[in-house]
Amino acid sequence: MLLIPAIDLKDGHCVRLKQGDMGQSTTFGEEPLVMARKWVDMGAKRLHLVDLNGAFAGHPKNEAAIRKILKEFGSLIDVQLGGGIRDLDTIERYLDAGLRYVIIGTAAVKNPGFLQDACTAFGGHIIVGLDARDGKVATDGWSKLTRHDVIDLGKKYEDYGVESIIYTDIGRDGMLTGINIEATVKLAQALTIPVIASGGLSNMADIEALCDVESEGVEGVICGRAIYSGDLDFAAALARAKELNG
């Protein structure tokens, strides 16, 4: 079970949002590189970066901070990034800088041709982020709810050749209300590619519940507000996951 610390970037700082609302951000660190170093030193095998400004602008906005992290850790661990990635040139630039996985969210829904092209050009490096509320996919920084069904889109993207899918329950994100295990497992069971859980991780019980369903295809979990607020001890969670699943 991959426990993946999230570093959300807003105006060059490390923040956390509640339900994707840029107006409800809490700053947890002025220097994202220092935060990245903290999680890597604790034993993180992958980092999850989000360019929040980029997600709303539609193009990279925190590239300088991201490049600092990639320069120090890109050759040591896997780093994945989402937010404002809308063209192949941006993907290539980040991969050349040491990024392992590019996360495509809104663009996957609005421009599936772009996603297909990305999978063809950069096979093994493309992850899709499916953000949903009540089973329906949201786009544009979660501000717009579509009629697309999560599982239907997941199967479509699997056929394109994406590496994995990050499933976020946006009603729970940043709220410390617990992972939506049922919906995550339902999606994982419908696919052959791995699913990464996201949204609402709150405590050790969530880690244990996720480890119980790893065999269903749930590869990991994005660790956000809980590891910043202290509700979940990241090092202890890593140790527990290793104890349960090796």
Active site residues: 8, 131
The structure tokens listed for 194 are 């791995």
Instruction: Check if the beta carbon of residue 191 is closer than 8 Å to that of residue 212.
Output: no
The owner of tokens 């697309």 is 148
* Total residue count of the chain as it appears in this document: 246
The pairing of beta strand 126-133 with beta strand 164-169? parallel
The structure tokens listed for 132 are 């949903």
How far is the CA of 75 from the CAs of 17, 61, 97, 121, 168, in angstroms?
29, 23, 10, 21, 27
Where is 209: in which H helix or E strand? Answer: helix 204-212
The one-letter amino acid at 133 = R
Instruction: Check if the beta carbon of residue 238 is closer than 8 Å to that of residue 211.
Output: no
Which residues have C-beta within 8 Å of that of residue 233, sequence separation ≥ 6? 227
The structure tokens listed for 7 are 């570093």
Which 3 state secondary structure label does DSSP give 163?
Answer: coil
